[in-house]
Amino acid sequence: MTPMATGSLRASAVLAAFFGLTVPLMPVQAILLRVSDRAARRFPHWYHRQVCRLLGVKLNIEGSVAKGAPVLLVCNHTSWLDIPVLSALAPVSFVAKLEVGSWPFVSALARLQRSVFVDRTRRLAAGDAANAITMRLQQGDTIVLFPEGTSSDGNRVLPFKTSLFGAVAGATVPAAEQVVVQTAAVVYTHMHGVPVTRAERPRIGWYGDMEMTSHAWGVLKSGAITVTIKVGPPVPLTDFKDRKDLALKSERAIRRDVLAILRGRPDGDELVPVEPSEEARRTKVAAPVRKSDKWT
């Protein structure tokens, strides 16, 4: 059997197993959402660990997500694989762009995991997102934010969009003293146990105008993948002056951690500059500070 045929056979088997696992469990989660917040929070965590096993994704985790406090988990974004990977890391929900809510099947999974959908084209919609995030943080949830605003090829960290922290700024005012911020650097490091090179890493990354189904099929054909997730220490939200300070320091931390992981991979030393983007650096010296830009 040719390698191509073997890969297609593997992808077909994994896909069948995925739907065989997922479809029967969707009504289970729907019931849990009605009867038990705690179970509804933890069940997707267990489910995504099984999904990672099915996909052949091995997790190498450094650090841990804080327990017993509401957490804003700030992450770089490379692939659709980030969703099961981060969900296998801890019980989390995602801040997602509004379009995800209209994707067939994916939208149902996102809603079952209590994702918060944000319409980035309407400034007034930020208030609704802030209210949703406020409620979730007050319940002690862990909310994942991808501040790049899109996904990359995995060889770089894109500039953080400070505007994406805006809803968080408005949301966390009532509970700022309890909320902690953590970063999570996600890097796909190996395929079949062999270090992934700079040229090969975009095979895992889902970015630009890539069509999701064809990309997912290619990943399923590829076989075993190892991902390293480096989780930063918890920092009280009140330690940041405002959303721009939060964006600046989070981007710097993730760039540093991504670079540290890539240094163990081919070409890693040249991929990700440690200094954050110009957008995150920019501040308006004389600009008035809005109440929603401050944590307290």
Reported for 282-291, long-range contacts at CB under 8 A and 24+ positions apart, including other chains, are 282/244, 283/244, 289/242, 291/173
Would you give per-residue pLDDT tens digits along the chain (296 residues)? Answer: 666 677 889 999 999 999 999 999 999 999 999 999 999 999 999 999 999 999 999 999 999 999 988 999 999 999 999 999 999 999 999 998 888 888 899 999 999 999 988 876 666 555 667 777 878 888 889 999 999 888 887 788 999 988 778 766 665 555 556 889 999 999 999 988 889 888 888 788 887 777 888 888 888 888 899 999 999 999 998 888 888 999 999 999 999 999 999 887 544 444 555 555 554 455 444 444 444 455 54
**What are the distances in angstroms from CA 243 to CA 168, 189, 259?**
8, 31, 24
Please state the domain extents for the chain: 3-283
Q: What is the pTM of this model?
A: 0.85
Q: What average pLDDT does the chain have?
A: 83
* CATH topology assigned to domain 3-283: Glycerol-3-phosphate (1)-acyltransferase (3.40.1130)
Three-state SS at 7: helix
